[in-house]
Amino acid sequence: MEMLMSFFILLVIGVLCLFFKSTRLIGVTGLTLLFLVFPFAFLILLLLVSVIFYFNYKWRLRSYVQPKLPR
Protein backbone atom coordinates (compact mmCIF):
# COMPACT_ATOMS: atom_id res chain seq x y z
CA MET A 1 0.00 0.00 0.00
CA GLU A 2 2.86 2.39 0.79
CA MET A 3 4.46 1.72 -2.59
CA LEU A 4 1.20 2.53 -4.36
CA MET A 5 0.87 5.83 -2.51
CA SER A 6 4.47 6.79 -3.24
CA PHE A 7 3.88 5.96 -6.93
CA PHE A 8 0.88 8.27 -7.14
CA ILE A 9 2.61 11.03 -5.17
CA LEU A 10 5.61 10.94 -7.52
CA LEU A 11 3.28 10.86 -10.53
CA VAL A 12 1.25 13.86 -9.39
CA ILE A 13 4.34 15.90 -8.52
CA GLY A 14 5.96 15.07 -11.87
CA VAL A 15 2.87 15.97 -13.87
CA LEU A 16 2.34 19.21 -11.94
CA CYS A 17 5.96 20.21 -12.56
CA LEU A 18 5.46 19.68 -16.30
CA PHE A 19 2.81 22.43 -16.42
CA PHE A 20 5.19 25.29 -15.62
CA LYS A 21 8.19 26.29 -17.72
CA SER A 22 10.43 26.96 -14.74
CA THR A 23 9.89 23.47 -13.24
CA ARG A 24 9.63 21.45 -16.46
CA LEU A 25 13.10 19.91 -16.10
CA ILE A 26 12.28 18.79 -12.56
CA GLY A 27 9.08 17.18 -13.88
CA VAL A 28 10.91 15.28 -16.61
CA THR A 29 13.51 14.15 -14.09
CA GLY A 30 10.81 13.07 -11.66
CA LEU A 31 8.91 11.07 -14.27
CA THR A 32 12.17 9.45 -15.38
CA LEU A 33 12.93 8.41 -11.81
CA LEU A 34 9.37 7.15 -11.47
CA PHE A 35 9.90 5.00 -14.54
CA LEU A 36 13.16 3.65 -13.13
CA VAL A 37 11.69 2.84 -9.70
CA PHE A 38 8.30 1.49 -10.86
CA PRO A 39 8.72 0.41 -14.49
CA PHE A 40 5.80 -2.01 -14.67
CA ALA A 41 3.28 0.35 -13.07
CA PHE A 42 4.52 3.25 -15.21
CA LEU A 43 4.12 1.23 -18.42
CA ILE A 44 0.60 0.12 -17.45
CA LEU A 45 -0.34 3.74 -16.72
CA LEU A 46 1.20 4.89 -20.00
CA LEU A 47 -0.77 2.25 -21.89
CA LEU A 48 -4.04 3.30 -20.26
CA VAL A 49 -3.47 6.98 -21.01
CA SER A 50 -2.56 6.14 -24.62
CA VAL A 51 -5.78 4.17 -25.09
CA ILE A 52 -7.84 7.00 -23.60
CA PHE A 53 -6.19 9.57 -25.88
CA TYR A 54 -6.67 7.32 -28.91
CA PHE A 55 -10.39 6.86 -28.36
CA ASN A 56 -10.87 10.53 -27.46
CA TYR A 57 -9.14 11.61 -30.69
CA LYS A 58 -11.07 9.06 -32.75
CA TRP A 59 -14.37 10.25 -31.25
CA ARG A 60 -13.56 13.90 -32.01
CA LEU A 61 -12.80 13.07 -35.65
CA ARG A 62 -16.23 11.50 -36.10
CA SER A 63 -18.07 14.48 -34.63
CA TYR A 64 -16.37 17.06 -36.89
CA VAL A 65 -18.75 18.81 -39.28
CA GLN A 66 -17.23 20.81 -42.07
CA PRO A 67 -18.61 24.36 -42.22
CA LYS A 68 -20.52 25.34 -45.33
CA LEU A 69 -19.20 28.14 -47.47
CA PRO A 70 -21.47 31.16 -48.10
CA ARG A 71 -22.89 31.50 -51.61
Q: What is the pLDDT of residues 31-57, one digit of tens each?
A: 888 889 889 988 998 899 899 988 887
Assess if residue 39 is contained within a domain. Answer: yes
- With a CB cutoff of 8 Å and minimum separation 6, the contacts of 32 are none
Assess if residue 69 is contained within a domain. Answer: no
Range of the domain at 28: 2-62
Q: Is the pTM of this model over 0.75?
A: no
Assess if residue 22 is contained within a domain. Answer: yes
Query: How many residues can be counted in the chain?
Result: 71
Assess if residue 68 is contained within a domain. Answer: no
Assess if residue 49 is contained within a domain. Answer: yes
Question: How many distinct structural domains can be found in the chain?
Answer: 1
Instruction: Give CA–CA dist 24/16, Å, rounded.
Output: 9
Chain mean pLDDT for the chain:
86
Assess if residue 41 is contained within a domain. Answer: yes
Residue 22 has pLDDT above 90, yes or no: yes
